[in-house]
Amino acid sequence: MAILEKTELVLNAAGRMVPEIANGRPQVPYLGVGKYQPRGNKAAPPIRTAADYPESGDKRVADLETALRKCGLRDGMVISSHHHLRDGDRVALMALEAAARMGVKDLMWFPSASFPSQKAAIELMASGVIDHIEGSMNGPLGDYCTQGKMRGMGVLRSHGGRWQAIQDGEVHIDIAVIAAPTADPFGNCDGSHGKSACGSLGFALADSLYADHVIAVTDSLVPFPCIPWQIQGNSVDYVVTVDSIGDPARIVSGTTQVTRSPDRLRIAEFVARFLRDAGIMRNGFSFQAGSGGIALAFVSYLKQMMKDAGVKARFVRGGSTKYLVELLEEGLTDYILDGQTFDLSGVQSIASNPRHVATSPFTSYNYHGKGNFASMVDAVVLGATEVDANFNANVVTHSDGRLLHGIGGWQNCLAAGCTILAVPSFRDRIPVIVDEVTTLCGPAELIDVVVTERGIAINPRRQDLLDAVKGSKLPIHPLQQIKAEVERICGGKPQRPQRADRPVAIVKWVDGSVLDSVWQVV
Amino acid sequence: MAILEKTELVLNAAGRMVPEIANGRPQVPYLGVGKYQPRGNKAAPPIRTAADYPESGDKRVADLETALRKCGLRDGMVISSHHHLRDGDRVALMALEAAARMGVKDLMWFPSASFPSQKAAIELMASGVIDHIEGSMNGPLGDYCTQGKMRGMGVLRSHGGRWQAIQDGEVHIDIAVIAAPTADPFGNCDGSHGKSACGSLGFALADSLYADHVIAVTDSLVPFPCIPWQIQGNSVDYVVTVDSIGDPARIVSGTTQVTRSPDRLRIAEFVARFLRDAGIMRNGFSFQAGSGGIALAFVSYLKQMMKDAGVKARFVRGGSTKYLVELLEEGLTDYILDGQTFDLSGVQSIASNPRHVATSPFTSYNYHGKGNFASMVDAVVLGATEVDANFNANVVTHSDGRLLHGIGGWQNCLAAGCTILAVPSFRDRIPVIVDEVTTLCGPAELIDVVVTERGIAINPRRQDLLDAVKGSKLPIHPLQQIKAEVERICGGKPQRPQRADRPVAIVKWVDGSVLDSVWQVV
């Protein structure tokens, strides 16, 4: 890819300027929620034959370089990796650095997410080994991107959008490298056991099914069969054993911590009370909340309210934590449907409790499937970096324009019956409620409630919710009013970022269309 | 398809005459084991969008006719079904009869296997609703085929070959109809629970992934999520509830019975002793045996020998029965890897024991994958209708030429480290060891041992096995010698079938090439 690819910008249905071409590939500008009708057929991986694989099932090779060479690694290929090991992952860099030693250039790195501990990838971008990253960029890699230093254009996708892009053939993965906390010589992989256990491996499933070549890398080899086999050896070409796939301390936290901030506790309590008073918290209901401090506190409040009301959930969606595990173990939910596992309690539970079930972006989030779980969840509690007075929201950039976060499952979760953004009204004296979001990640029509420490705003499109809480003691206010109050406190609106007229990344919508651009910061 | 399709016959690498074209589709004549190199890419189903499916996840429609109409049922389509409910299945006929009422013609019925209780399909063939069957035909349907009455040509595939054919795009399924002992409104399906519980649903997995349209039919609807979800609702278009998907008495047997015949017990004991004396029965070994009386007796003998020797298996492959379940529960194997579940003990075990693991033809048998489990099994014990003195074997036709059995996983299992045919040397005074098999299903080079009540014959290609049992007390004899002895007892060789020069079915090899023809019987 050329540095500073020239491309025309067009106005999409959300009123955002987006490039027509990214990394040489024509793009569909966002058309509106549910408006883009996909055509054609799914990606079709090459047909293999068992005659080309060892009859013994032993696919081990000496090291990653050998595996990459056998996979035919060459310039310009797409290498994928996964973030199950989060900031503790060692495998992605191991593979990219092996590729660097082998002298290849212009790779596209396609992680499900990248983390600060992988900032050495910046050197690989500077030296031309990596052309660009398509995937969530948390921290320094995103910052590097918004500094305009990445050769190709960043492409940000939700977890479901990543599956959709692979499935639909928008991204063709040449070589998938899967970090496996346990694997057998045939390539069956499990994430719940082993010294680097991380829980579910669902993010790697699409790659295992659609990539031309798949390498499993493990530090805990077991004899065939590795059970459970969330990744099936029948999709794997080579198995590499290494001393360590990651730093256990950063793979899962020992425990995830509830917030101690009074303001954030207040937000969490508002969210729980809203679910209760709006009648969403009822027998057989379902919800999803993340692993942030507000979300955890929300689960604690809700749990007590469920107990008080004698209400039981049918399922809760992970990111699992000990708080969700407690709900399961205390009989307050029938199931945890888990996309990723955030703490040790979650890992232990998913390894042993058949009601704690690993999911994948296919089941949970893929918009180009025959439906998915996201729209069946009654309520989801999410964060945001910014939200505008019309309920449009941002989750990837800060108000200074820097790209510091990935989308994760955030966009996919907006399909829930009731989408709640639980956000402080300002951070570091910068208002979170803004005139216009720096980057549009979530269209207003899908965001139903914004809960701040200063009150709860319900999207006027949701008259049903407004009616449901009429007469309750909840502090329901127009979002515009909360915004004005915050601006008074903070001494005005946030400064608009200084930016060049050059898009450095695009934000995909769940259907693969381009929702917004991320601009170079100057 | 025209009746009596004219096609040229060619001689394949096994020396069998096979049609160049079947049901309008050019065929690859068998080239030898591991010789056919597939090219191209897998089948690519249409891309769908969640926008076209209910946000609530509720995909229920009133009845099968409604579902078939919504799937766009029309003349000439391919309708698939599965044999998890075995001779108790009601769903396949329900769908085909609904199609008949809707007035469509010339369907191709693509069951994973068909059973005697489905013989009403003969009327649907006579009336032109069904053109032909591609799939195992047990009993009357196979008989109808060899009578030359089916319009199109029968195509017999192994379980792995069926996956391969779907995956490689040789068979395009328009509508898959999946009988689900439990399902939720989203279409997640489980076979282990519900009043019609049958165990694993693995045979339907390929259909769910590759068919254009998928209908789940259940008599036990549970709220989302149906756990486990061997078939995922994300692959399902419509859900239909019916009073009964099958006759429980014929879905699983209460218990499967060990043979009481002294000759067959002798065969079973020889097989077990062979595994022990050849050193195959050792710590960490694996084996597969079916549900026939000899196989069950073999497991009983082997179990005692394992206990006596203090040997534990790493895994055993089902078809599971109470005999395998006992091995698991007594700690004599780490895992059961189960392709189908034959009795109630098996169903209860797979529903509750995490070490009793459901597999699919993809993991177990698909030859066009990156290897599969079959070649990793140390020993497999199979039956046969005929075997020739060179170790070629038949499993689908009798010596009178009638097609009465399907291939099942038989061909796939031949990849095991040691393939043993455990057969009586004659049945109804007709020798089982013949000059030439009526239909070639298994090439001699893959069949290692033939065990009869009159002794054990080892394929001369397996000098290692001959060496391994040298000096043992086992009655090892040349197969030719056993054959001669049986011919003396039976008063000669079996009569050759009277057949027309018209192929009515073809037998596929595991790679999709044509191994042999089945001829019309006159």
Query: So where are chain B's domains?
Result: 40-251, 262-500
Cβ B376–A228 below 8 Å, yes or no?
no
Cβ B47–A367 below 8 Å, yes or no?
no
Cβ B51–A34 below 8 Å, yes or no?
yes
Cβ A371–B53 below 8 Å, yes or no?
yes
Structural domain A56-134+171-251, CATH architecture: 3-Layer(aba) Sandwich (3.40)
pLDDT digits (tens, 9 = 90+) for B243-268: 999 998 888 877 778 889 999 999 99
Instruction: Identify the helix (H) or strand (E) that includes residue A68.
Output: helix A64-70
Using CB atoms, which residue from A51, A167, A376 is nearest to B57?
Answer: A376
How confident is the model over A154-160, as a mean pLDDT? 98
Cβ A236–B370 below 8 Å, yes or no?
yes
Tell which of B234, B235, B335 to mutate to test the A interface (max A CBs under 10 Å): B234
Does residue B6 surpass a pLDDT of 70?
no
Q: How confident is the model at residue A259 (pLDDT cuts 50, 70, 90)?
A: confident
Cβ A314–B50 below 8 Å, yes or no?
no
Half-sphere exposure (Cβ direction) of B286: Cα atoms closer than 13 Å: 23
Contacts of B40 in chain A (CB under 8 A): 46-47
Query: Is the distance from CB of B115 to CB of B138 less than 8 angstroms?
Result: yes
pLDDT of B2 reads 42
Contacts of A228 in chain B (CB under 8 A): 354, 357
Contacts of A314 in chain B (CB under 8 A): 223-225
Q: How far is CA A194 from CA A58, B237, B380, B427, in A?
A: 20, 38, 32, 53
Cβ B370–A44 below 8 Å, yes or no?
no
Q: How far is CA B2 from CA A288, B5, B17, B142, in A?
A: 57, 6, 21, 19
Angle between helices B322-329 and B344-352 (to 10 degrees): 40
| Alpha carbon of A334: minimum distance to chain B alpha carbons (Å) | 9
User: Percent of chain A scored above 70 by pLDDT?
Assistant: 99
User: Which residue in A has a C-alpha nearest to residue B351's C-alpha?
Assistant: A354
pLDDT of A6 reads 66
| Alpha carbon of A245: minimum distance to chain B alpha carbons (Å) | 24
Helix (H, G, I), strand (E, B) or coil at B303: helix
The rounded distance, in Å, linking the Cα atoms of B98 and B77 is: 14
pLDDT of B257 reads 81
pLDDT of B253 reads 76
Contacts of A49 in chain B (CB under 8 A): 34, 36-38, 367-368, 511
User: Which residue in A has a C-alpha nearest to residue B58's C-alpha?
Assistant: A376
| Alpha carbon of A66: minimum distance to chain B alpha carbons (Å) | 18
Q: What is the largest CA-CA distance in chain A?
A: 72
Cβ A57–B376 below 8 Å, yes or no?
yes
Does residue A441 surpass a pLDDT of 70?
yes
More confident residue, A6 or B509: B509
Cβ A224–B354 below 8 Å, yes or no?
no
Tell which of B49, B59, B283, B359 to mutate to test the A interface (max A CBs under 10 Å): B49
Contacts of B234 in chain A (CB under 8 A): 362-363, 366, 369-372
Look over chain B and give the mean of its residue pLDDT values, rounded to a whole number.
96
User: Percent of chain B scored above 90 by pLDDT?
Assistant: 94
pTM for this entry: 0.97
The rounded distance, in Å, linking the Cα atoms of A340 and A321 is: 9
Number of Cβ within a 10 Å radius of residue B260: 9
Residues belonging to chain B: 522
Long-range contacts at B496-499 (CB < 8 A, ≥ 24 apart): B497/B399, B497/B400, B497/B401, B497/B402, B497/B438, B497/B521, B498/B401, B498/B522, B499/B401
Contacts of B43 in chain A (CB under 8 A): 44
Q: CA gyration radius for chain B?
A: 23
Tell which of A31, A33, A47 to mutate to test the B interface (max B CBs under 10 Å): A47
Contacts of A38 in chain B (CB under 8 A): 47-49
User: Which residue in B has a C-alpha nearest to residue A334's C-alpha?
Assistant: B225
pLDDT of B5 reads 56
Tell which of B39, B47, B237, B378 to mutate to test the A interface (max A CBs under 10 Å): B47
User: Which residue in A has a C-alpha nearest to residue B334's C-alpha?
Assistant: A225
| Alpha carbon of B476: minimum distance to chain A alpha carbons (Å) | 27
Do the interacting molecules here have an ipTM over 0.90? yes
pLDDT digits (tens, 9 = 90+) for A384-430: 999 999 999 999 999 999 999 999 999 999 999 999 999 999 999 99
Query: Is the distance from CB of B140 to CB of B116 less than 8 angstroms?
Result: yes
| Alpha carbon of A390: minimum distance to chain B alpha carbons (Å) | 24
Does residue B108 surpass a pLDDT of 60?
yes
> Which of A312, A295, A80, A319 lies closest to A176, judged by CA?
A80
User: Which residue in A has a C-alpha nearest to residue B337's C-alpha?
Assistant: A225
Phi, psi of B368 (to 5 degrees): -95, 45
Using CB atoms, which residue from B39, B186, B227 is nearest to A371?
Answer: B186
Tell which of A316, A338, A376, A378 to mutate to test the B interface (max B CBs under 10 Å): A376
Q: How confident is the model at residue A5 (pLDDT cuts 50, 70, 90)?
A: low
The rounded distance, in Å, linking the Cα atoms of A463 and A472 is: 15
Helix (H, G, I), strand (E, B) or coil at A64: helix
pLDDT digits (tens, 9 = 90+) for B433-482: 999 999 999 999 999 999 999 999 999 999 999 999 999 999 999 999 99
Cβ B376–A34 below 8 Å, yes or no?
no
Contacts of A224 in chain B (CB under 8 A): 314-315, 376
B353 φψ region: left (φ > 0), alpha (ψ -120 to 50), beta (else): beta
More confident residue, B256 or A42: A42
The rounded distance, in Å, linking the Cα atoms of A36 and A30 is: 8
Cβ A225–B357 below 8 Å, yes or no?
yes
The rounded distance, in Å, linking the Cα atoms of A264 and B292 is: 65
pLDDT digits (tens, 9 = 90+) for B276-315: 999 999 999 999 998 888 999 999 999 999 999 999 999 9
User: Which residue in B has a C-alpha nearest to residue A186's C-alpha?
Assistant: B371
Does residue B137 surpass a pLDDT of 70?
yes
| Alpha carbon of A44: minimum distance to chain B alpha carbons (Å) | 5
Cβ within 8 Å of residue A415, ≥6 positions away: A372, A374, A375, A377, A446, A510, B50, B55
Contacts of A43 in chain B (CB under 8 A): 44
Cβ A39–B47 below 8 Å, yes or no?
yes
Using CB atoms, which residue from B57, B227, B368 is nearest to A47?
Answer: B368
Burial of A447: CB neighbours in 10 Å, binned 0-12, 13-18, 19+: buried
Number of Cβ within a 10 Å radius of residue A310: 7
Cβ A47–B168 below 8 Å, yes or no?
yes
pLDDT digits (tens, 9 = 90+) for A64-113: 999 999 999 999 999 999 999 999 999 999 999 999 999 999 999 999 99
| Alpha carbon of A234: minimum distance to chain B alpha carbons (Å) | 5
User: Which residue in B has a C-alpha nearest to residue A187's C-alpha?
Assistant: B370
**Chain pair A-B, CB pairs under 8 angstroms:** 186
Q: How far is CA B358 from CA B112, B287, B355, in A?
A: 17, 16, 9
| Alpha carbon of A125: minimum distance to chain B alpha carbons (Å) | 33
pLDDT digits (tens, 9 = 90+) for B7-41: 799 999 999 999 999 999 999 999 999 999 999 99
Q: Which fold has domain B262-500?
A: Glutaconate Coenzyme A-transferase (3.40.1080)
Alpha carbon B53 to its chain centroid, in Å, reads 34
Burial of B46: CB neighbours in 10 Å, binned 0-12, 13-18, 19+: exposed
Phi, psi of B130 (to 5 degrees): -100, 125
Contacts of A56 in chain B (CB under 8 A): 375-376
Does residue B391 surpass a pLDDT of 80?
yes
Residue listed under structure tokens 């060049």: A500
Q: Which fold has domain B40-251?
A: Glutaconate Coenzyme A-transferase (3.40.1080)
Query: Is the distance from CB of B493 to CB of B487 less than 8 angstroms?
Result: yes
Domains A56-134+171-251 and A262-499 agree in fold: yes
| Alpha carbon of A206: minimum distance to chain B alpha carbons (Å) | 13
Cβ B46–A42 below 8 Å, yes or no?
yes
The rounded distance, in Å, linking the Cα atoms of B518 and B396 is: 9
Phi, psi of B179 (to 5 degrees): -80, 120
Residue listed under structure tokens 């029309």: B74
Q: Which fold has domain A262-499?
A: Glutaconate Coenzyme A-transferase (3.40.1080)
Tell which of B31, B366, B376 to mutate to test the A interface (max A CBs under 10 Å): B376
The rounded distance, in Å, linking the Cα atoms of B237 and B216 is: 8
| Alpha carbon of B54: minimum distance to chain A alpha carbons (Å) | 7
Look over chain A and give the mean of its residue pLDDT values, rounded to a whole number.
96
Cβ A369–B50 below 8 Å, yes or no?
yes
Cβ A362–B227 below 8 Å, yes or no?
no
